[in-house]
Amino acid sequence: MLYGVTDLLKRNQLSVTDSRKKILELFMRSDGALAHADIEHHSGTEFDRVTIYRTLQTFVEKGIIHTIPTSDNSVRYALCKDECSEGHHHDDHVHFMCDGCGTTYCLDHVTVPAIALPQGFLASQTDVVISGKCDKCG
């Protein structure tokens, strides 16, 4: 698993640095999505705030993680289990935000049904954010 992180960084033509490894591991260990603040807390004072911002930005650009639209408009990032390591398959995600524990889940295996748009509207990406109670809080 440790080797996996290094490998993933190299496949994306990124230098393998401490911060990148630690942040990637954090994503891999965590169940749901992470906000910038979560990462800052977890890594303590180890990394500069700016480094975390830049690392997240880089990961998004490389398609390693993606942002999740949330109704409370806090920025959240998630690593998609199967797809992201392979490339840019970020369309048609379903995300679930639990009102109870606040966790954001990336439901990779839930399919988004086709939605009929008005005349002249052309969809390129569909984001679905469902809120409610997760299996632990139900």
Partner DNA sequence: TAAATTTTGCAACAATGTTGCATTAGTGTA
Partner DNA sequence: TACACTAATGCAACATTGTTGCAAAATTTA
Q: Report the amino acid identity of residue 68.
A: I
User: φ, ψ for residue 28 (rounded to 5)?
Assistant: -70, -35
How is residue 7 written in tokens? Answer: 């490998």
Considering the rule CB under 8 A, would residue 103 count as an interface residue with a second copy? no
Q: 19 vs 85, which CB is nearer to DNA?
A: 19
Contact 9, 22 (CB under 8 A): no
Hey, is 110 helix, strand or coil?
coil
Q: 16 vs 130, which CB is nearer to a second copy?
A: 130
Q: 26 vs 128, which CB is nearer to a second copy?
A: 128
Judged by CB under 8 A, the residue of 51, 67, 85, 103 near a second copy is 67
Q: Give the footprint of a second copy on this chain (CB under 8 A).
A: 67-75, 94, 96, 99, 107, 109-136, 138
